[in-house]
Structure 1
Amino acid sequence: MSHKAWMKTVPTENCDVLMTFPDTTDDHTLLWLLNHIRLGIPELIVQVRHHKHTRVYAFFVTATYESLLRGADEIGLRKPVKAEFGGGMRSFSCEEDYIYENIENELYFFTSQERQNIIRYWLENLRAKQGESLHNIHFLEGQPISEYGAARQVSPVTTCPHPRRHVPASAVAAPRRGWAQSPAITPPAPADEICDYFGVKIAMYFAWLGFYTSAMVYPAVFGSILYTFTESDQTSQDICCVVFAIFNVIWATLFLEEWKRRGAEFAYKWGTLDTPAESIEEPRPQFRGVKRISPVTSAEEFYYPPWKRLLFQCLVSLPVCLACLSFVFLLMLGCFQLQEFVLSIQELPRIIRFLPKIVLAVIVTTCDEVYKKIAYWLNDMGAW
């Protein structure tokens, strides 16, 4: 999309998360998934649309404010507490909703990113019941539906705010006009506005990028001064290289320590400093295993024995990786031998001398595609 077209985009109303489907998806699959979403997650409001130009089906998903409050309680969303109740950040609870800031105003309480996280949490944890099937796919009880629901992409809507959610104008204008087109060399990124609009991950990236760009000024200035006063003899150049290397070591150490402090400040400010431990988080939708009672939370969960994963890694992953490395090594030696053989024959045309290099390029490209598929398969099989 061109810059002028992007500046004239119109917000899509009543949408927090967008689910798109390829044009080959049949109506039965769409209706099956839509029915499961509406029955399994009654809190969601789903609108079905079809883009005639792109020939793509899409579900426009949102939820009411009351439903989002219950969802925030489910995922333990951390929200700021009013000063009279102690201040700070605390996991949201519907039973004590009165203690949180802006709880009375649904326009200000949830950011766009928080709304999207709650809805995506519901969608990714929509699980099948016993005996359910779709075409030739037979689901296990409790198996996640989202990975088999034919959805091509489930993505948050970041091009427009929710119509009932107030988003500061600078959050929309900064990426388009103010910040990106600033004449300053290193304009400060509006981290808070980016966090409200695009989420914590993207805001943290831009905060780090701005901090890194500013920190690079010191080695740039020191290196320029050192280069200016360096003499042309080898001894002087060696001394300057050693001095600059020592400076880089000190600068890198200070940079990392300062970013740890700065990153912790942002994490505390945005409510992600004390995230729940991995042991009590919901498993990812692609995880498979047997049901059991968790010894940590006493709740029902899917469990995959570590010894099975280790067995697969030792008997399958490791031999396959070693075989692939050996195969590539032998091919490389073969190309080197072919190169030596071609160069030893003086009567060959000049273009034939490039044949080993062409063969090597074809081998590298082919192996890259094949090994990528093998890596995906090993990752899917060994990361349960």
Structure 2
Amino acid sequence: MTTQGELLSPTPGLAEVLKGGSWTQPTCPCCCSKNVEPLLLVQLADSVDPVTKKWIISRLEAPVRDGGAALLVHSGEDDAGNVVILSAPRCTQLRVTEDLGMWKPYKDGNMVAFSYDDRNSFRNIDDMQVFLTLAERQHVVKYQLGSLRAKKDRTIPGVPESRGVLLARESIFRKLEKVGVIKTVIALHDQRQLADLAKAWYSGWQLLGQPLDSIQAYFGTTVAFYFSFLDFYTWALVPPAILGVVLTLFPFASGTAAKASGGEGKEEEPGLPVSGLMVQAMFSMLWSTLVMELWKRRTAALSYRWGTPLLNERYAEPRPGYTGPMGRNPITGRPEPRFSEWEHKLRVGLSVPVVGFFLGLVALGMAAFYHFEAAARDFHKSEGTWLSVPLLYVPSLAHILYTNMLGSLYGNVALGLTEWENHRDESSFQNHHTTKVLLFSFFNCFAVLFHIAFIKEDLALLRKRLASLLIVTQLVNQCTEVLVPYLVDTFLSDGAKKPKEDDPEEDRIRAQGRLPPFPGLFPEYIELLVQYGYLSLFSCVYPLTAVLLLINNVTEIRTDAFKICRLFRKPSSAPVSDIGVWQPAFEVLGFVSVISNCWLLLLSPGVRQFCQEGGFSSRNALLFAILVEHVLIFGKMILAFVIPDEPAWISLKKQEFEFRSMQAFNQQKLQR
């Protein structure tokens, strides 16, 4: 039985095979080349029928007009092996670049949407390794795999008819994955380019600053936008960190802060002066607005530089999981599945109650935890024996087990719901899936803090809980993200990384299959969103939040870079023009932070004491807090409106593109 790492037979060596010239020979003269660059490795099932493999290869190398993918294919060691290696000829790469709506440098130096018919007017068009980045070339191959569809109803050769029936226009690649013929697809590393990137990224002594263009060229825009945002956000933490230190060490208001005394069971703890709380709350509102608005401008500049300001996803082939009765795309005229918009929106709407149900289960689990924790504490007080001590830990352990099981169940439900909603575009699918998981994760992370702040109204406990979360979580994260990866890479992976004496190139390719698949950037974005929530929602309670986050993120940049370069397979993702659904998620948190900070001010003992001394009733204080909240939200909206989302030069470039497109369209009409 072949394991995941044993991708290739020991003989003959893969390096010898690739040099043997057994690649598909392109028919287009401009695509012929002596050297073919291996881009993707497709691992088939161990017991794949040779007939099935030959049919797959025939579909991969056939022209698009004949229902193929127009790729360059190498069968590995032989036609009976379980490996297929893929590349793409020049014309296929250029046509997919046009289909995606990628922008490339024109002969006048400007970035322009690529046109295949006008290809000779673009710079570096004769050198595909310069014209397209490695990430873009690999995505071309993956895009062609996803667009490979059956022309008519048929059975996959070598697969039992009960499992291998292909319907007309059904995704061949997705069907082969479902029936177990295709096990995995691996984007191959370029070891020389990876070594250069590692040296400039995390192997040196630099603390901040990323080689963003090199990251984009090697890993793609999805990864590059994440690291750009992480870098931008880390620098943005400097001002609130300085303010937090100043407010903590040098309170500028005279007198001591009011004590956080309250109802029964609440501890007394000194807090900030009233003026300090107001400064911190006001600064948090301005900071969160400026950070996101300036990030939008940076996003626009980066997307233009990387050629993704206006992607044509709606005109491309639908995602492989998209189903529906066959029809024709009204824009492109291509045959594709059609699914009514109202039914799609109905399914999206019906998913909302299911998500709400799971959020209710989270709240129910939290309520049960508080109830049983109080019961266990009362029982221990009444009994007072060592036998009752373990009962104090049972509610916490049960709650942890409950949330983990619920999170695993919800992850499967969220994915199934998003599949059921039947999204045509890959970005729409990813955004809806991410939103579902994001809501659950956010509720899971912040429900306890909101309960302590606004239900129990215990700011001293909130401050302690927030400090412990920041310190303990960061220590655990640094241990798991630095120490564990280092030990795995140094000891457990050492034998796998040593090249063989007879064929080191083959061993390097084998080692890529032994690495675990890249888990995606969702956990990394969630970590940043939770950080942002701690800072924007509760910073007036614990001003040193930004300091701890800044220290964490300085090392986070390096450890994330190390992990993606050394510990996982090379990720392959579609070009993107921004960070997707995470942008509105951070913006929503910014608006919620205004409400949160206003209410925390109202609940703070210092403000309550100030109101009592000034003769303000609780009702008048509440009305004043609501008024301030609305004024701050209105100010936040004005500030967001005043700051343009794009730099002026980006807007000008897009207007020039629209004008050229209109001129080209009019010229085509005159020629007809």
Same fold per superposition (TM over 0.5): yes
Which of 196, 199, 205 is equivalent to 2:220? Answer: 199
* Matched letter for residue 247 of structure 2: L
Which of 226, 230, 254 is equivalent to 1:209? Answer: 230
Which of 414, 417, 421 is equivalent to 1:382? Answer: 421
In the other structure, the counterpart of 1:65 is: 90
In the other structure, the counterpart of 2:57 is: 34
Partner Cα separation in structure 2 for residue 328 and residue 248 of structure 1: 29
Which of 153, 161, 170 is equivalent to 1:143? Answer: 170
Q: What CA deviation, in whole Å up to 9, does each residue of 1:275-323 have, x standing for no partner?
A: 22x4323211110111223333343332112333355556x64665566
* Matched letter for residue 270 of structure 1: W
In the other structure, the counterpart of 1:152 is: 183
Matched position secondary structure for 1:208: helix
**1:91 paired to 2:122:** no
Matched position secondary structure for 2:83: strand
The 8 Å contact of residues 82 and 100 in structure 1, kept in 2 or not, is answered as yes
1:29 positional shift = 4.2
- Structure 1 moving runs of 4+ over 6 Å: 325-342
**1:301 paired to 2:336:** yes
The 8 Å contact of residues 33 and 149 in structure 1, kept in 2 or not, is answered as no
In the other structure, the counterpart of 1:280 is: 315
Partner Cα separation in structure 1 for residue 225 and residue 370 of structure 2: 47
In the other structure, the counterpart of 1:19 is: 42
In the other structure, the counterpart of 2:463 is: none
In the other structure, the counterpart of 2:449 is: none
1:262 positional shift = 1.6
Matched position secondary structure for 1:94: coil
The 8 Å contact of residues 45 and 62 in structure 1, kept in 2 or not, is answered as yes
* Residue 238 to residue 185, structure 1, CA distance change in 2 (3 Å): farther
Partner Cα separation in structure 2 for residue 300 and residue 281 of structure 1: 12
Partner Cα separation in structure 2 for residue 123 and residue 59 of structure 1: 12
Matched position secondary structure for 1:61: strand
Q: What CA deviation, in whole Å up to 9, does each residue of 1:152-171 have, x standing for no partner?
A: 333433x207xxxxxxx7x5
* Residue 16 to residue 382, structure 1, CA distance change in 2 (3 Å): same
Partner Cα separation in structure 2 for residue 332 and residue 195 of structure 1: 42
In the other structure, the counterpart of 1:241 is: 277
Partner Cα separation in structure 2 for residue 333 and residue 226 of structure 1: 35
Partner Cα separation in structure 2 for residue 211 and residue 319 of structure 1: 36
Partner Cα separation in structure 1 for residue 367 and residue 246 of structure 2: 47
Q: What CA deviation, in whole Å up to 9, does each residue of 1:322-372 have, x standing for no partner?
A: 666677777777777777777659669424565555555544444443343
Partner Cα separation in structure 1 for residue 170 and residue 416 of structure 2: 20
Partner Cα separation in structure 1 for residue 119 and residue 320 of structure 2: 30
The 8 Å contact of residues 130 and 141 in structure 1, kept in 2 or not, is answered as yes
In the other structure, the counterpart of 2:301 is: 265
1:219 positional shift = 1.8
In the other structure, the counterpart of 1:165 is: none
1:193 positional shift = 1.9
In the other structure, the counterpart of 2:462 is: none
Partner Cα separation in structure 2 for residue 81 and residue 344 of structure 1: 77
Q: What CA deviation, in whole Å up to 9, does each residue of 1:364-383 have, x standing for no partner?
A: 44444334333332222223
**1:372 paired to 2:411:** yes
Partner Cα separation in structure 1 for residue 299 and residue 375 of structure 2: 57
Mean alpha-carbon deviation: is it higher for 96-105 or for 231-240?
231-240
Which of 141, 153, 158 is equivalent to 1:119? Answer: 141
In the other structure, the counterpart of 1:4 is: none
Partner Cα separation in structure 2 for residue 213 and residue 249 of structure 1: 18
1:144 positional shift = 0.7
Partner Cα separation in structure 2 for residue 333 and residue 112 of structure 1: 51
Q: Percent identity?
A: 27
CA RMSD in angstroms comes to 3.4
* Matched letter for residue 125 of structure 1: S
Partner Cα separation in structure 1 for residue 403 and residue 317 of structure 2: 40
Q: TM-score, normalised by structure 1?
A: 0.77
* Residue 74 to residue 370, structure 1, CA distance change in 2 (3 Å): closer
Unaligned runs of 5+ in 1: 1-9, 51-55, 162-168
Partner Cα separation in structure 2 for residue 282 and residue 222 of structure 1: 51
Matched position secondary structure for 1:221: helix
1:79 positional shift = 1.5
Which structure dedicates a bigger proportion of its chain to helix? 2
Which of 76, 86, 97 is equivalent to 1:49? Answer: 76
Partner Cα separation in structure 1 for residue 289 and residue 414 of structure 2: 35
Matched position secondary structure for 2:118: helix
* Residue 310 to residue 222, structure 1, CA distance change in 2 (3 Å): closer
1:118 positional shift = 1.8
Q: What is the number of equivalent residue pairs in this alignment?
A: 354
Partner Cα separation in structure 1 for residue 43 and residue 353 of structure 2: 39
Partner Cα separation in structure 2 for residue 44 and residue 94 of structure 1: 18
The 8 Å contact of residues 62 and 119 in structure 1, kept in 2 or not, is answered as yes
Matched position secondary structure for 2:76: strand
* Matched letter for residue 284 of structure 2: N
Matched position secondary structure for 2:84: strand
1:24 positional shift = 5.8
* Matched letter for residue 112 of structure 1: L
Matched position secondary structure for 2:307: coil
Mean alpha-carbon deviation: is it higher for 215-224 or for 319-328?
319-328
Which structure dedicates a bigger proportion of its chain to strand? 1
* Residue 330 to residue 91, structure 1, CA distance change in 2 (3 Å): closer
In the other structure, the counterpart of 1:176 is: 198
In the other structure, the counterpart of 2:456 is: none
Matched position secondary structure for 2:311: coil
The 8 Å contact of residues 166 and 175 in structure 2, kept in 1 or not, is answered as no
Q: TM-score, normalised by structure 2?
A: 0.47
The 8 Å contact of residues 19 and 153 in structure 1, kept in 2 or not, is answered as yes
* Matched letter for residue 244 of structure 1: Q
Matched position secondary structure for 1:248: helix
* Residue 248 to residue 294, structure 1, CA distance change in 2 (3 Å): same
* Residue 238 to residue 23, structure 1, CA distance change in 2 (3 Å): farther
